[in-house]
């Protein structure tokens, strides 16, 4: 690409006509489209770059005659803006129109600095060493409340006299005191579904075996005996954790239905339909002689095939 310099003399085929005062760029191609020539005091003319035959250090040679240039209409400055007034990135990338290099002196102290890369890397290392000891405290700071011991206390949830019919889910609401970090202890309302079962359903759920609950070390916390005709299900849907209900279904009869993603379970907690990955979670349950029910409030991770206790 031709690089006419500012202040270069402009020479036509017959004689010199003036000097280059401005260069015009094409905003799309980013290339020089015109030069502007100051006609030795008689105005400026805009000449297409196509008319330029050759460019040397200080002369721009045109392939036309001087009278052709003089015959052009005067250059209209108001039709243009400078590259400082318009936002076109990389506009100047392709051109070198400065009349010479623009220089500033290097400060004396900078002249003897040899290992610039070393100092740059050294700065990064120091910055990294400042940040590094902070990473672990920040992580621990944020992780403080994330893991807590399981609470295996028995909670009273109500009396079985509330249950009128066998194999029907009845919701028992109960309060649990929660102590969260610095907050004063507060009550959370929770719920559990309890059924008085027929022997058939009991057999289907327990399949002839007692249900053992163990802690992380494998120690038995409690055993639900297979001959106790009551089952308690955690109120949390094993699909994605919503609260399910006991509902009449058009074709499946009375079922547990979760309104979120429409998982359906039978009275024994088995998945009948919908996206749930496992049966409802049975909880440790105690029924006293007077019919008072107690459960251990456990919560299991939703969405997994196996039970993973989180509370």
Partner 1 sequence: MDMKHSSPAAIPDHQPSTTEKVLAFLDERLGLKEMQAKMLNEPIPGGSRWAYVFGSVLLFIFAMQALTGILLMFYYVPTADHAYDSTQYIIHDVDYGWFLLSYHFWGSSAMVVCVVAHMSQVFLWGAYKKPRELLWLVGLALFGIVITFGFTGYLLPWDQRAFWATLVGVEILDKVPLVGDFIARFLKGGATPGQMTLSRFFVLHVMILPAALMALAGLHLFLFRVAAPAGPYKGTTEEIKAKTDYFFPRQIWKDIVGMAFVFIGLCALALWEPVVLLDKATPDPGEYHPEPEWYFLFYFQLLRLKLFAGQFGQFMGAVALPVVFMVVLVALPFFDKDPERNIFKRPIALIIWIAIMVVIALFTVAAVINREFLD
As given in the structure block, the two tokens for residue 293 are: 């029910």
In angstroms, what is the minimal distance from the CB of 54 to partner 1? 27
Taking the least distance from each CB to partner 1, the nearer of 17 and 293 is 293
**Nearest approach, Cβ of 138 to partner 1 (angstroms)?**
12
| Torsion-angle region of 146 (φ positive above 0: left; ψ -120 to 50: alpha; else: beta) | alpha
| 98: nearest Cα among 2, 1, 7 | 7
Report residue 78 as tokens: 């108001």
| Chain residues in the site for partner 1 (CB under 8 A) | 27-28, 81, 84-90, 142-143, 145-148, 173, 178, 180-181, 183, 186, 188-191, 235, 239-243, 259-262, 274-278, 299, 301-305, 310-311
Q: Output the smallest distance, CB 212 to partner 1, in A.
A: 22
**Nearer CB in complex with partner 1: 43/241:** 241
CB of 160 to partner 1, least distance (A): 20
277 vs 239: CA distance, rounded Å:
6
Residue 45 CA to residue 100 CA, distance in Å, equals 24
Q: Nearer to partner 1 by C-beta: 276 or 282?
A: 276
Q: Parallel, antiparallel, or unpaired for β 186-196 and 16-25?
A: unpaired
Q: Which is nearer to partner 1, 17 or 258 (CB)?
A: 258
The CB-of-66 to partner 1 minimum distance in angstroms stands at 31
Cα atoms found within 13 Å of the Cα of residue 152, Cβ hemisphere only: 10
SS3 state at 204: helix
Q: Give 206 or 300: the residue with its C-beta nearer to partner 1.
A: 300
């Amino acid at each position: 690409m031709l690089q006419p310099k500012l202040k270069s003399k402009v020479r036509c085929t017959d004689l010199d006509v003036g000097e280059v005062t401005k260069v015009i760029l094409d905003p799309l191609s980013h290339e020089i489209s015109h030069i502007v020539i100051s006609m030795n005091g008689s105005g400026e003319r805009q000449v297409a770059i196509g008319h330029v035959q050759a460019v040397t250090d200080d002369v721009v040679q045109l392939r036309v005659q001087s009278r052709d240039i003089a015959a052009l209409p005067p250059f209209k400055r108001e039709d243009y803006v400078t590259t400082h007034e318009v936002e076109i990135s990389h506009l100047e990338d392709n051109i070198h129109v400065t009349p010479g290099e623009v220089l500033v002196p290097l400060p004396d102290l900078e002249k003897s600095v040899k290992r610039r890369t070393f100092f740059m890397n050294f700065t990064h290392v120091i910055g990294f060493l400042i940040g590094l000891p902070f990473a672990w405290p920040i992580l621990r700071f944020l992780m403080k409340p994330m893991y807590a011991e399981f609470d295996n206390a028995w909670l009273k949830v109500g009396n079985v006299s509330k249950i009128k019919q066998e194999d029907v889910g009845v919701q028992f609401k109960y309060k649990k005191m929660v102590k969260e970090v610095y907050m004063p202890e507060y009550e959370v309302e929770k719920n559990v579904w309890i059924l008085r079962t027929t022997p058939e359903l009991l057999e289907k759920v327990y399949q002839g075996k007692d249900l053992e609950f163990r802690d992380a070390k494998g120690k038995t916390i409690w055993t639900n005996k297979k001959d106790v005709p009551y089952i308690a299900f955690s109120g949390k849907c094993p699909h994605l954790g919503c609260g399910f209900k006991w509902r009449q279904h058009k074709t499946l009869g009375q079922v547990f239905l979760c309104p979120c993603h429409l998982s359906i379970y039978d009275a024994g907690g088995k998945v009948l339909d919908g996206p749930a990955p496992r049966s409802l979670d049975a909880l440790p349950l105690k029924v006293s002689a007077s019919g008072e029910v107690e459960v251990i409030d456990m919560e299991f991770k939703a969405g997994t095939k196996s039970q993973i206790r989180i509370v």
